[in-house]
A and B are shown apart, each in its own frame.
Chain A
Amino acid sequence: MKVSVKRILVIKFKEIISKIVLFFLYRGFNIVSKIDDEVEKEVRSWKDGYTIKLEIYDNGPSLILKKVNGSVKKIKETEKTDIDIIFKSLDVAFQVLTGRKGISKAYAEHRFILKGNIIEAMSIVRCLDIVETYLFPEIIAKHLVKSIKKLKKPRVVTYLRVIVNY
């Protein structure tokens, strides 16, 4: 199929940025689950081996998280996922990953497919909301979540820990 050069460049750009954001989202998730008791409690409620996949339709960038020995790890491949969130397009996933659309809004707009138990997925949505609050500056975060929670640690501490992954 013929696609314009401009579109190819846009796709490449969005794919690269999405991959970078997904990488930092994993680190952010991991760090926030250690400093925020709500996220820690949510993760604790998942059974060991619980696997969540965030992916973008048509073999786009993806992130697979698995609970191993009580904490969340990034894995490369999995045969079985408990919850699979598949964004219907790279363009919308890009909006969500770059803080221009919240996860609840994306769900409301049917922007992703959700494979698995919807009831269990609510825990993941709550976690993502909190992680977004830590990772994005307040001016952006307030448009992504319904209300901004009081952070347990200043954002700058989270940023530093995400960068050094500790």
Chain B
Amino acid sequence: MIPEYYEFQNQTKILSGKLAIYNIPAELEFFNASKPLLISDAILKKIGTVDKIKDAINSSNKIGVKAEYTEVPQDSDLKIINKLANIYEENECDSIVAVGGGSVIDTAKGLRMLISQDEKDINKLMGNEILKYGKHVPFIVIPTTSGTGSEVTLVAVIEDKLKNVKMEYISYFLLPDVAILDPEMTVTLPAKATASTGMDALCHAIEAYTCLQKNPMSDAYAISAIKLIKENLLAAVKKGNDKKVRLNMANASLMAGVSFSNSMVGLAHAIAHSLGAVGKVPHGDAVTIILPYVMEYNLDVLKDGYSDLLLYMVGEEEYLNTPKNKRAEKVIEIVKEMIEKLHKETKLPKSLKDVNISKSDFKTIANTAINDGAIIVNPKKVELNDIIEILEKAY
């Protein structure tokens, strides 16, 4: 059904497949850029991923990494972004290449925002769609996990650790110019992280398909993502070296990213963000634990939406064999089964107890979640007690 009104944008160019990273110099040249700042984290530096990208860029005669920073922490931090802005200026860089997961990409988005808006204080840019088109800073992203979808999203979350606040930025001008999905980049991802980030991608797609802002374009991406995740996530966990499966998951994560960038995520993400902030639960783990219970909570208003998804999860035959009034519940059952299988394979946490959340934290978690921006697009009204009940069930 076409909604009364919707907006959709995804201008990011996608390079997907073998040897994709070797196109980085050509892509930079398209933007008349030749001196990128390379941003990543310490683990990717240690395992050689950063050097692989450096080699790919530096093997060009015209283009070379001008500066690199590989100390991005687990949560993107305002202090690091300001530091990177100095590195970028001092080295006269003209573009940004980010290699990593969500925090590296969000950090790079923050840096690009500062340079492009010619602003020293990132607090002034906080909000939803307040940025105007600024100076164009070519920005290439190479995700190393298949989950955040951050390579194609209009959102960045940056923490001010001094003030202990998370700041959210939403703007179409945060979208990277190029996203590179090279199976080489994710084969080293450990099984548990593969499971956790894969479930994050599934949650993005399910919530994008069912939130207030859903539209035919975001639906198409969400459906394709769900189908790919259902078919490939367990295989990616079991056979991490299978590049075909890895590429499928990278594409699924990107598609889920495009979908939720335009349709947004809802209650499961609001609670997961809060579990991350209050209990330091890794985002993918938090989403895995909470997703089925949020689906149960939303079931009465989302019966049709969840029912639709069954077709993409089980195929035509089983879909038709499932009574119409049982399809939505069946989707929740399948999500639970997936979590169970991933738990058996990787010890992926499946309850709040598994991640050492105490019942005494529930009130704080609920209070934080109720103020999360994702709450507003959840199709069902949510109150503090509803969140506490969900947490009780997930314990």
A interface, CB within 8 angstroms of B: 84, 104-105, 107-110, 113-123, 125, 145-147
Contact = CB atoms under 8 A, between A and B. Distances in A.
B375 interface: yes
Contacts of A119: 166, 168, 371-373
B212 interface: yes
B126 interface: yes
B357 interface: no
Interface in B275-308: none
Given A110-B129, A118-B128, A104 B167 contact: no
Contacts of B375: 122
A41 to B, nearest CB: 11
A51 B127 CA distance: 15
Contacts of B240: none
B168 A118 contact: yes
Interface in B79-128: 126-128
A110 B7 contact: yes
A108 B371 contact: no
Contacts of A117: 126-127, 165, 167-168
Contact of B128 (A105, A113, A123, A145): A113
B5 A107 contact: no
B6 interface: yes
Contact of A122 (B7, B212, B376): B376
Interface in B116-160: 126-130
A110 B375 CA distance: 15
A119 B371 CA distance: 5
Given A118-B170, A119-B166, A119-B373, A109 B5 contact: yes
Q: Is the interface of B mostly helix, strand, loop or mixed?
A: loop
Interface in B363-384: 370-373, 375-377, 379-381
Contacts of B166: 119
Nearest to A116: B127
Interface of B: 5-7, 126-130, 165-168, 170, 211-213, 264, 370-373, 375-377, 379-381
Nearest to B264: A108
B376 A108 contact: yes
B211 A108 contact: yes
A112 B220 CA distance: 25
A124 to B, nearest CB: 11
Contacts of B213: 108-109
Contacts of B170: 118
Contacts of A145: 381
5 contacts: A105-B212, A113-B127, A117-B167, A119-B371, A147-B380
B127 A114 contact: yes
A113 B129 contact: yes
A31 B234 CA distance: 56
Nearest to A148: B381
- Which has the most chain A C-beta neighbours within 10 Å: B7, B127, B375? B127
Contacts of B167: 117
Contacts of B130: 113-115
A164 B267 CA distance: 40
Given A110-B7, A114-B130, 19 more contacts: A104-B212, A105-B212, A107-B377, A108-B377, A113-B127, A113-B129, A113-B130, A114-B129, A115-B130, A117-B165, A117-B167, A117-B168, A119-B166, A119-B371, A119-B372, A119-B373, A120-B371, A122-B371, A122-B372
A104 B267 CA distance: 14
B284 to A, nearest CB: 22
A145 B127 CA distance: 23
Given A105-B212, A114-B130, A146 B6 contact: no
A109 B127 contact: no
Contact of B126 (A108, A116, A146): A116
A115 B6 CA distance: 21
A113 B371 CA distance: 18
B54 to A, nearest CB: 36
B306 to A, nearest CB: 18
Nearest to B378: A146
